[in-house]
Amino acid sequence: MQDGRPEETPVSDEQAGLGLDAPAAAPDARAYRVLARKYRPATFEDLIGQEAMVRTLRNAFALNRVHQAYLLTGVRGVGKTTTARILARAFNYEAPARDGQPAINRPTVDMPSLGVHCASIIESRHVDVVEMDAASNTGIDDVREIIESARYKPALARFKVFIIDEVHMLSKAAFNGLLKTLEEPPEHVKFVFATTEIDKVPVTVRSRCQRFDLRRIESGVMVSHLSGICEKEAVRISDAALSLVARAAEGSVRDALSLLDQAIAHGPSSASDLISEESVRDMLGVADNARIIDLFESVMKGDIAAALSQLKEQYDQGADPALIMLDLASFVHFVTLLKLSPCMTVDKAVTEEELKRGRRCAETLSVQSLTRAWQIVTKGLPEIREAPRPLAAADMVLVRIAYAADLPTPEEALRKLAQTPTGPSAGAPAPQGGGRDPSPSAGSARSAVVHATQTVFEPQTAPSSAPRAQIARFEDLVTLAQAQRDIQLRTALERDVRLVRFERGSIEFSLAPGASPQVAAHLMRRLQEWTGERWMVAISTADGAPTISERQQARQREKAVGVRADPLVQSVLERFPGAEIVSVRSTGDDADALSDVAPPVAGDEVVYADQISDEDF
């Protein structure tokens, strides 16, 4: 030792070449583990929001009804891979007797402490628990390795467990190669599959597995979970900030923990300072909920100037227009639920102020205006995301909502039209300035829209005193079509309609071959217009009566047969070889009569081919 310092051991040239001459790292220097990995569940008790699955598995293990293959599905970050590893622990749990507790050597979901194989399974390094990522191992060769490995018993554990993540990425050949082993695996083999796209997994695979759908985590449960982690990490954060993180995560625990990590880094430098709601809003680029409600109230009142100003103010402070519209759509949905179910259970993430203002909006707004606002916002979101100027696109969405908020429904518009007198007798003033209205404000613009709607419908509104047609028979309908000069409908009724059933207010018929299927819709409109009543017009698959044209043709044939049997007609036909009877008409009959078929009577006139002249008689 020299100068109070320990003597340095000389380093050889070989050690220096291997880098052993570098100074040793501090013993307490360790890599930081992100919260999503640090607080990853290790037992079924640690899983949150999946009570139904845990209860099913607990009962199955208690009854010794453990399935051979499990299929876990759900959105990102809800615990599919984590549940697969916990299942692998449960299959192979083995704990020696300790601290007065008996030894456990059976499959169980109750794992009070780390067993013999638990640590290596959690760290994904156990020889008998094989994890495969199907996104990078998609072929039949990868599955063939699993099939060959399944033939051999486990080396250390009770079961050999194969965990295949993102199983929907396997190829068709790989799925087919796995089917036989999956249906009849050896007793020592268990399969656990995880996927985010269950529809891409063949039904032949799904039918061989016990399926569990992992649900999104509710906001209230997520806030409680994040609050407990913040206490363990000695981080001070407001409840409003945690609610923002939970909403942004959209039910994904991994996303929530990643956002919480980011919020801690974005917050104050001192660990003793509180992470505020404003800090998290700046990090996420979302708007204040109170300001979203202000925007909603302004746009639903038709105050478009105030709404555009509020949107621009939020945009200048860093809020994304698409996220503002998404929050606006969420509040529209929230108000609609309060309107339809005032006593519903409110999410814990909703503040008291949001609930109070939401109920006030639900009392004043109609369901029609809320549904219109929802449709406009949801259809405008893709436009905002794809527009080169998102703020301008969001402005136009607000304009559409404001000008449509107070528009009446079609039923209300028709009701107002029926109560509004029309024509010169109404005493309406003539338009000024060449028929041009002055430039409307937001409120008068909606009135102008309603007035335009009335003007469009006025020509179609029949006077209440106009006589209505009465139709007692199908033939009356044909006559009415002739009287109304609807030649197209009359022709279709005669040639294409085979009547099945006719009642007042209801017609059922089948169509002749080659007829247009639009006959029913056209007939329904005309009947309502002519009679003032709504008729039910249906096309039937049953065989209806012959059409009017077919009946007329049959009547002509019967007349021709009867006339041909007359001795005088027979002598004429024999005298003029090649002559034919073209038609038979009774003197004074209308060619377009719709009466029933009658047998030929005396006085019928016989019409022959054109080559027969008067001189021949």
pTM of the model: 0.56
Which pLDDT does position 556 carry in this prediction?
79
Instruction: State how far the Cα of 427 lies from the Cα of 431, in Å rounded to an integer.
Output: 12
Q: Give me the DSSP letters along 57-94.
A: HHHHHHTT---SEEEEE-STTSSHHHHHHHHHHHHT--
Domains of the chain: 35-213 (3.40.50.300), 219-284 (1.10.8.60), 289-404 (1.20.272.10), 474-539 (3.30.300), 558-616 (no CATH)
The strand pair at 506-511 and 536-539 is best described as parallel
Cβ pair 524, 478 in contact under 8 A: no
Cβ pair 291, 278 in contact under 8 A: no
Which pLDDT does position 1 carry in this prediction?
42
480-529 pLDDT tens trace: 888 888 888 888 888 888 888 888 788 888 888 888 878 888 888 888 88
Token code pair at residue 398: 């607000």
Which pLDDT does position 406 carry in this prediction?
63
Which pLDDT does position 531 carry in this prediction?
82
Question: Helix (H, G, I), strand (E, B), or coil: what is residue 552?
Answer: helix
Q: Which residues lie below 8 Å from residue 447, measured CB to CB, with a gap of 6+?
A: 440
- AA letter at 300: M
User: Could you tell me the mean pLDDT of each successive run of 10 residues in the chain, 617 residues long?
Assistant: 46 44 49 87 89 92 92 91 92 84 86 87 90 90 91 91 93 92 92 93 93 90 90 88 86 90 80 80 75 89 89 86 89 90 72 83 87 91 91 92 73 69 47 41 42 39 54 83 83 85 84 81 83 81 83 80 77 77 63 42 40 41
474-483 vs 519-531: helix axis angle to the nearest 10? 80
